[in-house]
Amino acid sequence: MGWEELVAKKRKALAELIPEKWRIPADILPADSQHSVISYPETSSLLSDEELTITQLTVKELVEKIASRKYSAVQVCEAFCHRAAIAHQLVNCLVEIFFDAAVERAIELDDYLFKEGKTVGPLHGVPISLKDQFRVKGVECSMGYVAWLGNIDEEESVMTTLLRKAGAVLYVKTSVPQSVMCCETMNNIIGRTLNPYNRLLSCGGSSGGEAALIALHGSSIGIGTDIGGSIRTPAAFNGLWGIRPSHGRMPFAGIRSSMDGQETVHCVCGPIAHRAEDLAYFMKAILEQEPWHYDPKVIEIPWREEKYNEGRTGKKIFGITTVNGVMGFDGVVMPHPPILRGIQMVVNALRRAGHTVVEWQPYKHKYAVDLVRKIYRADGGEDIRNALTLSGEPAISEVAHDYGPGANEKIDLNTMWDIQIKKYKYQQEYMAIWMERNEINAWIQPEAPHAAIRHDQYKYNGYASVISLLDYPAVVVPVTFAQKETDIKDLNYKPISDLDMQVHDEYQADVYHGAPVAVQIIGRRLQEEYVIGLAEQVGRALASS
């Protein structure tokens, strides 16, 4: 079968998995010309009041209300399945749908609660969406590759197993870019996933399907992966919270990925959700399952509630990435006006809330960005091209650019070791800075130099990738939305490089109007609890300012 046929078959099968009753009637389906669909689920009257209520609860509330039998797990499951089906029809975010299995599981959970008088675990009845790299028994995992369609998994990722153990309900897998090594979400299988705030904009990537789905409350919490921003960028582009945990904190075993076996910069997995509290609740729930008994790379560090509480209380000192007096600038690519304003809002809010904000000089970020890019492209694209060749599908434009024949040469093993020495040295140098400026509790910088970007315009992930190279925990905090009235393009700006110019040129105040703006809160390695706590404070400061 040719790749186009495989795709046609997949699209048809996927469409059929949306129950008829949940298909949006043609007459009320928003036209392509309607850019924002973020309010559609609430305004369309397709969902019942109860479904709307359920799908906007926090994760903790969901568990509590199922435990207290206010809602059954089945009710909750169906509400999310319904809303996810609607979300998909708006932004094309799902690649695997298994509502039937989900309802079956919810029935089991209700039975268990009825018979045993207690919940299965801390995620009892919570529907959790998974990026299409996680393996679920009986479900395909194509990861944006046509050739991988038909790979029905018989084994599961450790995370999948632990989610079940904690009582979660699995119901969908969300779309990813071809190869997952991109910061937008486009593949030849289901096409492009759109940003619900503005469908002319990207939902980010590679966990773009997750973020688009969650933004529409088709999921209360989902799990993405991040090797250079793939959790954080979609969270930032969709007005959500997300955490890139340090490597070794969350189980990654059994997750499919590109360039599998590459261990120089680790891909990690972590949640995307609507609130800091959801991130904390989720990580605690997973750590209670003792993932270090299932994945040899997970470190035996249980959830440390005291660190979380330490982060979320008290007056703190935050560093703000600053170059040449421009707060938010990493010295490589100047952020667009909405981001600079977002950073200023954060600074103002923190100061108003009594915190201290100081300058944080980014240390050799250009060097680090170049170094980590070499790692991403270390095999010259061989692994990715092999996967494309299997089906004959063409590379999407981002993949062609970064991994096409001749784009990069494969690195020799000793060169890779040199890169690993440099990485370690860079980590040591950054650690020395933290030690010198020991009073600083966290460091804040943009997640990207722009708000959610126009399709196919993503060019610079250095704000995110440096953090991956350093292996620091980073929490994305949504700040505001681009405003054409205030976020005026600086026509006198003199770009410092071609790349800087390209990014600068991309900005147009009216095109970006309404695009989500976010920052990331960055802490020291393995301090996830503390950083989530600090991010919560940032969120609180913003909300009350």
Binding to a copy of itself, residues 450-479 (CB under 8 A):
470-471
Question: Do 88 and 218 touch, CB atoms closer than 8 A?
Answer: yes
Number of residues that bind a copy of itself (CB under 8 A): 44
Binding to a copy of itself, residues 65-94 (CB under 8 A):
none
Query: Exactly one of 424, 439, 486, 545 binds a copy of itself (CB under 8 A); which one?
Result: 424
Q: Which is nearer to a copy of itself, 6 or 470 (CB)?
A: 470
Task: Tell whether residue 488 is a contact of a copy of itself (CB under 8 A).
Answer: no
- Least spacing, CB of residue 427 vs a copy of itself, in Å: 4
> ∠ at Cα 220 (167, 95), nearest 5°?
90
Query: Exactly one of 5, 100, 305, 412 binds a copy of itself (CB under 8 A); which one?
Result: 412
Query: Exactly one of 301, 440, 496, 501 binds a copy of itself (CB under 8 A); which one?
Result: 301
Query: Exactly one of 421, 456, 508, 545 binds a copy of itself (CB under 8 A); which one?
Result: 421
- Stretch near a copy of itself under the rule CB under 8 A, chosen from 25-33, 174-182, 214-222, 288-296: 288-296
- Stretch near a copy of itself under the rule CB under 8 A, chosen from 31-39, 187-195, 294-302, 441-449: 294-302
Q: Which of 179, 202, 206, 257 is catalytic?
A: 206
Q: Break the chain down into helix, strand, coil percent, rounded to 5.
A: 40, 15, 45
Task: Tell whether residue 117 is a contact of a copy of itself (CB under 8 A).
Answer: no
Task: Tell whether residue 305 is a contact of a copy of itself (CB under 8 A).
Answer: no
Q: Which is nearer to a copy of itself, 237 or 403 (CB)?
A: 403
Task: Tell whether residue 253 is a contact of a copy of itself (CB under 8 A).
Answer: yes
Write the secondary structure of 54-67 as one string of H (helix), E (strand) and C (coil): HCCCCHHHHHHHHH
- Stretch near a copy of itself under the rule CB under 8 A, chosen from 8-16, 118-126, 138-146, 287-295: 287-295
Question: Do 56 and 534 touch, CB atoms closer than 8 A?
Answer: no
Question: Beta-carbon neighbour count of residue 386 at 10 Å?
Answer: 11
> ∠ at Cα 157 (93, 60), nearest 5°?
65
Q: Is the peptide bond preceding residue 230 cis, with omega within 30 degrees of 0?
A: no
Q: If you search the block for the tokens 């010295």, which residue do you land on? A: 331
Q: Which of 192, 206, 218 lies closest to 242 in space, CA to CA?
A: 206
CA 522 remoteness from chain centre: 15
Which residues, 6+ apart, have CB-to-CB distance to 293 below 8 Å? Answer: none
CA-CA-CA-CA torsion sign (434, 440, 445, 447) = positive
- Stretch near a copy of itself under the rule CB under 8 A, chosen from 98-106, 120-128, 225-233, 406-414: 406-414
Beta bridge partners of 280: none
Task: Tell whether residue 447 is a contact of a copy of itself (CB under 8 A).
Answer: no
The mark string for 363-382 relative to a copy of itself (x by CB under 8 A, - otherwise) is ---------------xx--x
Q: Which of 476, 437, 457 lies closest to 397 in space, CA to CA?
A: 457
HSE toward the beta carbon, residue 391, CA cutoff 13 A: 24
Task: Tell whether residue 414 is a contact of a copy of itself (CB under 8 A).
Answer: yes
Tell me the chain's radius of gyration from C-alpha atoms. Answer: 22
Instruction: State the DSSP code for 293.
Output: G
- Stretch near a copy of itself under the rule CB under 8 A, chosen from 37-45, 143-151, 190-198, 286-294: 286-294
- Alpha-carbon gap, residue 6 to 188, rounded angstroms: 10
Can 230 be counted among the known catalytic residues?
Answer: yes
Can 206 be counted among the known catalytic residues?
Answer: yes
Task: Tell whether residue 294 is a contact of a copy of itself (CB under 8 A).
Answer: yes
- Inter-CA distances, 486 with 198, 315, 501, Å: 19, 30, 21
Query: Exactly one of 88, 525, 536, 537 binds a copy of itself (CB under 8 A); which one?
Result: 525
Question: Do 352 and 541 touch, CB atoms closer than 8 A?
Answer: yes
Q: Which is nearer to a copy of itself, 184 or 471 (CB)?
A: 471
Catalytic residues: 131, 206, 230
Residues that bind a copy of itself (CB under 8 A): 248, 253, 259-264, 292-297, 299-301, 378-379, 382-383, 410-414, 416-421, 424, 427-428, 430-431, 434-435, 470-471, 525-527
